[in-house]
Structure 1
Amino acid sequence: MSEVAKIYMEKFGLDQRPFSLVPDPDFLFWSPGHRRAYTMLEYGLYTGAPITLISGDVGIGKTTLLHHLLKQVGEDITIGLIANAHGGRGDLLRWVLMALDQTTTPESSYVDLFKQFQTFLIEEYAEGRKVVLIFDEAQNLDRETLEELRMFTNINANKDELLQLILVGQPELRTLVRRPDLTQFAQRIAASFHLSAMDEATVTEYIHHRMERAGAERRIFTPEATSRIFGATQGIPRLVNQLADFALIYASSDDLDEVDGTTIENVLRDGVFFAGVLRLENAVI
């Protein structure tokens, strides 16, 4: 933690940093959209959906929801989390087996890897455990990889499927799976949700929630400040965190007792909120 953050924490009576950019399930704010997205994650997981798909813009809170889900699953579910998988056919299986803590050898052929994977699924099933593969940043997967994943979901024992997939990614993921040549894949998606940005009222609640969670005993951000934060961030949680963090630094350095609209304007005027400015410029274009 930076020395600057420690200074504003002392200034505003906080016991931890409220607006970290690192996903933290302990700070999870249940906006209506996040609650619905998580409900669909649970629905897909516990009803045996072959494929569950959750999409949303960068910084919307998808990874935070995943980490919360991982904390809730019981011992009867084996989770493999894969982020930014890439490569060819055999590479995908290596990523998957590595996520499931299975050792592979460089000389293993695709057939060897698939047999190892299938054996693992059967053994887990025999022990009463279901296997779930979660792909984060799944918009980076190509058509061939998605088709390979669909074939994985065909592995079954009698009427029971041995594998479930959860795909989480940016909006391009939904565009990808709607391609005519991925119709069979799309038909296996039994649960899906698109997580949208927060509206102004929700952004206000979000800011106050995180401040209270960090130990604040009073409202530090004025209504004008939260309104300006919403306008500058378009309701994207990661951008809200970044701008609010800068605002606390500015207010502390100016020895202010609260963050007001002028504080937000000063942050924006100085250009330190680069990610938000870039997003707005791209939106205009």
Structure 2
Amino acid sequence: MMYLAHYGMSAAPFGLTPNTAFYVDLPIHQQAMAVLTVALSQGEGFIKVTGEVGTGKTLLCRKLLQEAPEHFALAYIPDPHLSPLELRWALALELGLKHSANIDPQQLTQLLQRQLVLLAQQQKQVVLLIDEAQALPDETLEALRLLTNLETEQRKLLQVVLFGQPELNQRLALYQFRQLRQRISFSYDLSVLNRAQVACYVNARLQLAGASQLFSRTALWLLHYYSRGIPRLINILAHKALMLGYGKALQQIGCYQVMQAARDTDDVQAGKPHNSGFWWPLLAPAALLALWYWLPGGWW
């Protein structure tokens, strides 16, 4: 990337692709991982992790895939828009079975059960991780519940972790999904980052990339304001601000670069709280820009 050498970085710190190398262990993610660890140790039921778009669900999922103990056999489905049969085959392939067009749905279920029993005999705990779970079709959600009926006398043969947007909660609240809802033993809602956490997040990722603190205090304040504390938006804005700073040969990013980045980002404009009763934050960016014109540079 063009600005890496300019800022002394070894890698791009604000990419949109979830990268566990730039995982920042903030309190909300610590708590989510703690819930997942405790829930998985129980060995039964569904686990649900929800959060707004861009709050880090996929990164958390990949972190779990990376750091799970050896006795876990993890199956990962990143695109859940599947029919019940496609879901069974996706799980079967993740567990090492080979696809065959000659196997009917009933035979496939039997093969899955045998494989799950075999893994249990090998002291493996099978966990199915489903990202973007709000996209699961209704009939596939029901098929998923039926899959978790597979069990020995001692324990379930399959655990399921659902990672999804808040729409998942709305769907599971429907009467038709009451059986599945009752099987959710643990759940966690990822919140957005507060101002201090945004600063910690940005500076930690810069440090992981080999750079120092490049954003001024006011620039970090504006990153929080414009991003609404959503990590993906923080990444977009920080990346654009770094590009603008590089274009001007700056060694520190100030409020002007963040404001310009925000103007160029559609979701920032769509999410601005125009109808909020707290009118003063809306005036703050303009006030900061005015100060930038009139006061000496460096502090902003």
Same fold (TM over 0.5): yes
Matched, 1:162 2:157: yes
* SS across alignment from 2:73: strand
| Equivalent residue, structure 2, for 1:228 | 222
One-letter amino acid matched to 1:190: S
State the 1:130 CA deviation.
1.3
Any residues of structure 2 matched to 1:18-57 within 5 Å, and which? Answer: 18-57=13-52
Note the aligned Cα RMSD (angstroms): 1.8
The answer on whether the counterparts of 1:49 and 1:191 sit within 8 Å (CA) in structure 2 is: no
* SS across alignment from 2:162: strand
Please identify the structure whose Cα radius of gyration is greater: 2
The answer on whether the counterparts of 1:121 and 1:131 sit within 8 Å (CA) in structure 2 is: yes
Any residues of structure 2 matched to 1:1-285 within 5 Å, and which? Answer: 2=1, 4=2, 8-216=3-211, 218-269=212-263, 271=264, 273-280=265-272
* SS across alignment from 2:187: strand
State the 1:190 CA deviation.
0.7
* SS across alignment from 2:238: helix
CA offsets 1:242-282 (integer angstroms, 9 cap, x no match): 1101111101111112000011122234x2x2343344489
State the 1:86 CA deviation.
2.7
CA offsets 1:125-145 (integer angstroms, 9 cap, x no match): 111111111111100012322
The answer on whether the counterparts of 1:222 and 1:259 sit within 8 Å (CA) in structure 2 is: yes
The answer on whether the counterparts of 1:90 and 1:110 sit within 8 Å (CA) in structure 2 is: yes
The answer on whether the counterparts of 2:43 and 2:125 sit within 8 Å (CA) in structure 1 is: no
CA offsets 1:193-239 (integer angstroms, 9 cap, x no match): 010111111111111111111111x3210011011111111111011
CA offsets 1:8-62 (integer angstroms, 9 cap, x no match): 2222221211111111112111222111111111111112131100001111111
Q: Classify 1:163/1:283 alpha carbon distance in 2 versus 1 (closer, same or farther; 3 Å).
A: farther
CA distance in 1, matches of 2:126, 2:89: 16
State the 1:166 CA deviation.
0.5
CA distance in 1, matches of 2:84, 2:5: 53
CA distance in 2, matches of 1:15, 1:189: 42
CA offsets 1:45-93 (integer angstroms, 9 cap, x no match): 1121311000011111111111111111222111110122234332221
Moved more, 235-244 or 12-21: 12-21
Moved more, 71-80 or 204-213: 71-80
One-letter amino acid matched to 1:220: L
Unmatched tracts of structure 2, length 5 or more: 277-300
Moved more, 189-198 or 141-150: 141-150
Task: Number of aligned residue pairs: give it.
Answer: 276
* SS across alignment from 1:160: coil
CA distance in 1, matches of 2:153, 2:141: 24
CA offsets 1:96-138 (integer angstroms, 9 cap, x no match): 2122232121232110110111110011011111111111110
CA offsets 1:127-167 (integer angstroms, 9 cap, x no match): 11111111111000123222211111111111211110000
